[in-house]
Structure 1
Amino acid sequence: MIKIDTKGLKQLKNNLEEAKAYAEELAKEEVNRITDRHLARVVKNTPAGDSPDSPTLKNTWDRSGVITTADGVSAEVFNPTDYASYFEFGHRQKPGRFVFIELTPGAEKYGQRAREITKGKHAGKWGIFIKLKSPFVKGRFVLTDSEAKANKELEAAAKRISKKIQEALK
């Protein structure tokens, strides 16, 4: 009869479970920090225009909490404003069409001072009418650019976490 001492294997199993819990905690902390920086960059790089609605885009950027899934740890930065995707990626428009740009009273844009509109569907609002010239408005890519920086930060964080886990297992 052969006896095998399994104490070493049980100790290794316990060490690995502790290292896994430690790694998950470190990952959550890093993702939380990186997501906060990502959100701050996006808000900082989103311009607020002259329109009364312009601050809406800048002020509605938000983030989710840190979520643990089977794939790992994640968090999301998003903007629920309906025109956020047009701002981010650009959009088409029909040249020659006149559009109303709502402005705050006294504001000036494109060399025209805002005035109160007295007739039509914009009656009672302040703004200007402009003729569209370009068939496409370029996107600003504030979220995309910040995501690229966040991904680099995540790669560096993964290396740091891996190094800490290796040190903990020694």
Structure 2
Amino acid sequence: MARWGKVDFRQLQNLQKRLERFEKAEMDQFNEKMVKELAARMLARVIRRTPVGQYPSNTGKVGGTLRREWTVGNVTKIGDVYEIEVFNPVYYAAYVEFGHRTANHQGWVPGRFMMTISEQELEREAPKIIEKALMKYLGEVFKGD
């Protein structure tokens, strides 16, 4: 019969503890952090795309209200799904996004689709962003104490 020698299982036990800790509380924290990061990226993109109104200098009006009012809501978890809302409470935001008729109903002002385009771009890039953050986070979890 062959001898195997001595085996120290402490490292495996430590790894098991770290995995259990990650699986329970830390996974929720990671998911919430990623949702907030993606929302921040979305907010930055949509703000950059939002047009600023141009008014004659003698009117006293200043543009930029629509751009300044973009905001992010709170993270909510419904089942296994995390949600966060990026929105603009200005009443005419939807008209700028999707387009509208002119005041005299003779023409159409095309939409700018600042939210739609930003969302589509982020949706394409999100898997890479999440994977990179997850690999970094798992590297910290598996790093020895």
Normalised by the length of structure 2, the TM-score is 0.66
Q: Which runs of 4+ in 1 moved over 4 A?
A: 12-17, 160-169
Identity in percent: 32
What's the offset of the Cα at 1:40? 1.3
How many angstroms apart in 2 are the aligned matches of 1:61 and 1:159?
A: 27
What residue number does 2:28 align with? 24
Q: Write out per-residue CA displacement over residues 95-144 of structure 1, whole angstroms, 9 at most, x where no aligned residue.
A: xx3xxxxxxxxxxxxxxxxxxxxxxxxxxxxxxxxxx752x211000011
**Equivalent of 1:85, from 90, 94, 103?**
94
RMSD of aligned alpha carbons? 3.1
Structure holding more helix per residue: 2
Deviates most, 141-150 or 46-55: 46-55
Please, which runs of 5 or more residues in structure 1 have no aligned partner?
Answer: 1-11, 98-131
Larger RCO of the pair (alpha carbons < 8 Å, separation 6+): 1
Correspondent of 1:49 among 47, 53, 56 = 53
**Structure 2, unaligned runs of 5 or more:** 1-15, 56-60
C-alpha spacing 1:69/1:13, structure 2 compared with 1 (3 Å): farther
> SS of the residue aligned with 2:74?
coil
Compute the TM-score of the two structures, normalised by the length of structure 1.
0.58
- Give a deviation string over 1:1-54, Cα, whole Å, max 9, x none: xxxxxxxxxxx7994563242222222112211211211111111121224263
Per the TM alignment, residue 71 of structure 1 is displaced from its structure 2 partner at its CA by 3.6
Aligned to 2:121: 149
- How many residues align? The count is 124
Find the aligned partners of 2:102 and 2:26 in 1 and give their Cα distance: 52
In the TM superposition, 1:103-122 aligns within 5 A as none
Deviates more, 1:138-147 or 1:69-78: 69-78
8 Å CA contact retained: 1:48, 1:58:
yes
TM-aligned CA distance change 1:133 to 1:71, over 3 Å: same
